[in-house]
Amino acid sequence: MSRPPALFPLFAGLETLDGVGAKTARHLAQLGVERPRDLVFTLPYAMVDRRLRATVKGIAAPATVTVEVEIGAHVPPRRKGGPARVFVRDAETEFQLVFFHAKGDWLQRQLPTGQRRIVSGKVEIFDGLAQIVHPDHILRPEEAADLPQYEPVYPLTAGVSQKVMQKATRSALLRAPDLAEWIDPSLKTREGWGDWADALRAAHAPESLADVAAEAPARRRLAYDELFAHQLTLALARQSARRGKGRASLGTGTLQARVLAALPYRPTGAQTRAIAEIAGDLASDRRMNRLLQGDVGSGKTLVAFMSLLIAVEAGGQGVMMAPTEILARQHFDGLRPLADDAGIRLDILTGRDKGAERAAKLGALAAGDIDILVGTHAVFQKDVAFRDLRLAIIDEQHRFGVAQRMELGAKGRHADVLVMTATPIPRSLSLAQYGDMDISVLDEKPPGRQPVKTALISAGRYDEVAGHLRDAVALGRQAYWVCPLVDESELVDLTAAEERFRTLRAALGEDMVGLVHGQMPAQQKDAAMKAFIAGKTKVLVATTVIEVGVNVPNASIMVIERAEIFGLAQLHQLRGRVGRGAAESTCLLMYNPPLNDGAERRLQILRETEDGFRIAEEDLAMRGAGDLIGTAQSGLPRFRIADLERQAALMAIAQTDARKLLQDDPDLSGPRGAAARILLWLMEQDRAIRLIGVG
């Protein structure tokens, strides 16, 4: 498939535009502008009103004004490098035009005394007199029509002026073809949107400040086009994943019933709903592609285990993968009592299994003796074969992108895939990032989870905190002490953690304190974690390695040093390590004063709420989408016009619309489907284009 000819002019070189040479083209690349298409999607962010007025009198300076004037006396600079002044008079008052470094007789030619000119520029008051320094425009009265009444203001980069940008953009806009409509007609009418090319021209010709706002109809339409193209790509990925034949796995309910009977509590409504959604996917003969999203402590483990039991009840096997050895072990320890209740065989496979032990596990797996396997990515190795794998669960703390998910599905064996994440994601972002998946959300806490008391304490009160810790440890409690990643260099972090380890050992006793950090060999790290889990050490000093998944119910105190330099989501994850047992839990956020506004806001939000979804929304509002999940590794698209934070509702409409279009026209061959194909080319959605090509 190749690009439609109608779009060729928009994908030509920049040098084909008016006023753009090789040098300007290089400068524009700094703005991410490499073709005329990028230029038409770089919208003005402000607007200058250049309508002609009678006078500058009564203007609230500073302000941009365009007036017709009669030119009076020229006053040359008093000293070298000083300003030259030209007196001018409009219909009601006199003011000055000021020029620095004007060459030779240039001023006389531009502004001949006694003649009339139109000047446009910023009026300022200096020493009580109105003046315009270096007017933006000087025109003869008969040229008045050349000055646009409203002038768009574009983002710039070094070496590119507004004039160059305006000229190049006007030239690029002439190339925008009239394209067939890809938006659903009823939506277009309801929103009052114009056609694509009209919307583009309108967005570049604002006539008021309202026209440069995100909510202006022309801009909303163009933002929607971007979101729709993105959601169409995700919907195609979803369609192609579902085309992959799955296998219907129907549970009998017997194993699940045993586990539920043995539980000391009843599952929450959210857990029951998620299990039902997953069971429905497993029972269908299409491949499952679902994300299970739950906040810290929302009970994802139970949902995951019940899902794996359905696979076993149906006569198959299940696998649960974690990103690290520590987490895999912990999942294994957490699932073992449930597996005993169900009466099934659970085992673990990590990179550490060697020789005869590994061979025995692989044999049991291939024979179908192991019902559920927990492991790290070691389960992906060539020699690992299941007798009948039905469900793979990925605990994806490290965030698989869409591409990796597609790869995993391609591993085939018709296994259904469930991805779990413990990071609450705002709705707009989960649509952008996981729009190809169906999403189940756990938004309730299981009964018996204690709220965590959160307090802010300045770093100067370290001795007081150490004292409290000594008392708590004497009562048999356990604590985490998190040291910040102070610096990109891990050596500096190390010193910070080791230093704190030493001072706490001095305060609490040699064998009371353990240490884990990223630079340790795996064996040492595991030994330190084990000692803490077993309660041998009472305080664990750690860099952020413990952020994900660690579960020690007896640990009820979390101290985070330099809390002000952590992100909201990270603080929320760290705090979630306590409050897992019966004891009342505390999280102390230690900070170095003075706090800047952002840091203060973050710490206050944590003090106010434990709701991970609310925290994630606040985080998005404060940091923006790219920072929130690190655009580079997230597979999150970069939009030129759409704004993920503020246009979440538009993203949701785009998802529904894209899925419906594919349902009605799976290979995009109808009139609207053909228009949508052109949109995908226009928005450079290469992956989608490949998927249609394959389909």
> What's the pLDDT tens digit per position in 47-87?
888 888 888 888 887 888 999 998 999 988 888 878 888 99
Give the angle subtended at the CA of 44 by the CAs of 39 and 50, to the nearest 5°: 125
Last residue of a domain, one of 120, 147, 174: 147
**∠90-93-99 over CA atoms, to 5°?**
70
Q: Which is more confident, 409 or 320? A: 320
CA distance 671 to 361: 56
Tokens of 438: 């169906």
Across the chain, mean pLDDT equals 85
Among the listed residues 394, 407, 405, the one whose alpha carbon sits nearest the alpha carbon of residue 433: 405
pLDDT of res. 457:
92
Is 687 within the bounds of a domain? no
Residue that terminates a domain, selected from 557, 585, 609: 609
Q: Is residue 400 part of a domain?
A: yes
**Burial readout 583-618 (b: 16 or more C-beta within 10 A, e: otherwise):** bebbbbbbbeeebeeebeebbebbeeebebbbbbbb
Surface-to-core class of residue 397, CB atoms within 10 Å of its CB (0-12 exposed, 13-18 middle, 19+ buried) = middle
Take residue 4 and report the two structure tokens written for it.
């439609």
* 97 is a domain residue: yes
* Residue given tokens 């679902």 in the structure block: 290
Are residues 121 and 183 located together in one domain of the fold?
no
Rounded to an integer, the average pLDDT of 481-486 is 78
Residue 412 pLDDT > 50, yes or no? no
Give the mean model confidence (pLDDT) for residues 343-365: 93
With residue 604 as reference, give the H or E element that holds it. helix 597-608
Given a cut of 90, whether residue 493 has pLDDT beyond it is: no
> Partners of 590 in the beta sheet?
457
pLDDT in tens, 26-55: 888 888 889 999 999 999 988 888 888 888
The β-bridge relationship of strands 478-482 and 438-442 is: unpaired
Q: What's the token pair of residue 284?
A: 């269908």
Q: How far apart are CA 138 and CA 403, in angstroms?
A: 55
Query: Which pLDDT does position 117 carry in this prediction?
Result: 92
* Single residue among 125, 147, 169 that ends a domain in this structure: 147
Tally the domains of the chain.
Answer: 4
How large is the greatest C-alpha to C-alpha distance in the chain, in angstroms? 103
- The closest of 350, 292, 277 to 319, measured between CA atoms, is 350
Residue 231 has pLDDT above 50, yes or no: yes
505: tokens are: 């050992």
Q: What is the pLDDT of residue 39?
A: 93
Identify the pLDDT of residue 423.
74
Pairing of strands 452-458, 585-591: parallel
pLDDT attached to residue 224: 96
> Are residues 490 and 570 both part of a single domain?
yes
Residue 160 shares a structural domain with residue 28: yes
**pLDDT computed for residue 307 by the predictor:** 97
Q: What percent of the chain has pLDDT over 90?
A: 39
User: Do 324 and 467 reside in the same domain of the chain?
Assistant: no
122 plus 262 within the same structural domain: no
Residues 629-637, mean pLDDT to the nearest whole number: 44
Q: Is residue 621 part of a domain?
A: no
Q: Which of 261-275, 407-421, 652-666 has the lowest mean pLDDT?
A: 407-421
Q: Is 69:116 a contact under the CB 8 Å cutoff?
A: yes
> What are the backbone angles phi and psi of residue 114, rounded to the nearest 5°?
90, -15
**How far from 140 is each of 56, 67, 85, 245, 521, CA to CA, in Å?**
19, 12, 20, 73, 78
Q: What's the CATH number where 71 sits?
A: 2.40.50.140
Phi, psi of 686 (to 5 degrees): -60, -35
Residue 408 and residue 261 in one domain: yes
Do residues 577 and 431 both lie within one domain?
no
Question: Secondary structure of 308-339 in the HEC alphabet?
Answer: HHHHHHCCCEEEEECCCHHHHHHHHHHHHHHH
Residue 354 lies in a domain: yes
CA distances from 173 to 6, 274, 641, 681 (A): 14, 49, 16, 18
Instruction: Identify the helix (H) or strand (E) that includes residue 347.
Output: strand 346-349
List, as own/partner pairs, every contact residues 593-596 make where C-beta atoms lie below 8 angstroms and the sequence separation is at least 24, other chains included. 593/458, 593/459, 593/460, 595/564, 596/564
Write out the residue range of the structural domain in which residue 266 sits. 254-442
Contact of 662 with 239, CB cutoff 8 Å: yes
Partner residues linked to 395 by β-bridges: 420
Greater pLDDT, 374 or 691: 374
Q: Are 643 and 637 in contact (CB under 8 A)?
A: no
pLDDT at residue 629 tops 80: no
The token pair at 620 is 């998005």
Decide if 94 is inside a domain: yes
Kindly tell me if the per-residue pLDDT of 413 is higher than 70. Answer: no
For residue 191, is pLDDT > 70?
yes
Residue 638 has pLDDT above 80, yes or no: no
Question: 99: closest CA among 135, 130, 134?
Answer: 134
Provide the pLDDT for residue 695. Answer: 39
CA distance 444 to 269: 8
pLDDT at 366 over 50: yes
d(CA 540, CA 533): 10
Structure tokens, 356 = 């005869």
Do 350 and 260 lie in one domain? The reply is yes
Burial status of residue 3 (CB atoms within 10 A of its CB: 0-12, 13-18, 19 or more): middle
Kindly tell me if the per-residue pLDDT of 219 is higher than 90.
yes
Give a yes or no: residue 381 inside a domain.
yes
> Is residue 497's pLDDT more than 50?
yes
CA distance 430 to 425: 6
Q: Please tell me the pTM assigned to this model.
A: 0.65
Asked if residue 466 and residue 548 are part of one domain, the reply reads: yes
CA nearest neighbour of 419 among 547, 287, 512: 287
Same domain? For 20 and 43 the reply is: yes
Torsion, Cα 120 123 126 131, to 10 degrees, reads 30
- Note whether 596 and 515 are same-domain residues: yes
Is residue 641 in some structural domain?
Answer: no
Give the number of other CB atoms < 10 A from CB of residue 649: 10
Distance separating alpha carbons of residues 298 and 273, to the nearest angstrom = 13
Indicate the pLDDT class of residue 485, thresholds 50, 70 and 90: low
- Minimum mean pLDDT among 59-68, 74-83, 241-250, 598-607: which range? 241-250
Give the range among 19-23, 424-428, 563-567 with minimum mean pLDDT.
Answer: 424-428
Residue pair 672/183 in contact (Cβ under 8 Å)? The answer is: no
Instruction: Tell me which residue of 298, 343, 387 sits closest to 572, measured CA to CA.
Output: 298
pLDDT, tens digit (0-9, with 9 covering 90-100), for 432-472: 777 778 889 888 877 767 789 999 999 899 999 999 999 99
Q: Please provide the size of the chain in residues.
A: 695
Sign of the dihedral through C-alpha 94, 97, 98, 102: negative
- Is 90 exceeded by the pLDDT of residue 10? yes
Residues 357 and 291 in one domain: yes
Q: Give the span between the Cα atoms of 53 and 68, in whole angstroms.
A: 8
CA 357 to chain centre: 43
Q: What is the CATH number of the domain that holds 388?
A: 3.40.50.300
pLDDT band at 486 (very low <50, low <70, confident <90, very high): low
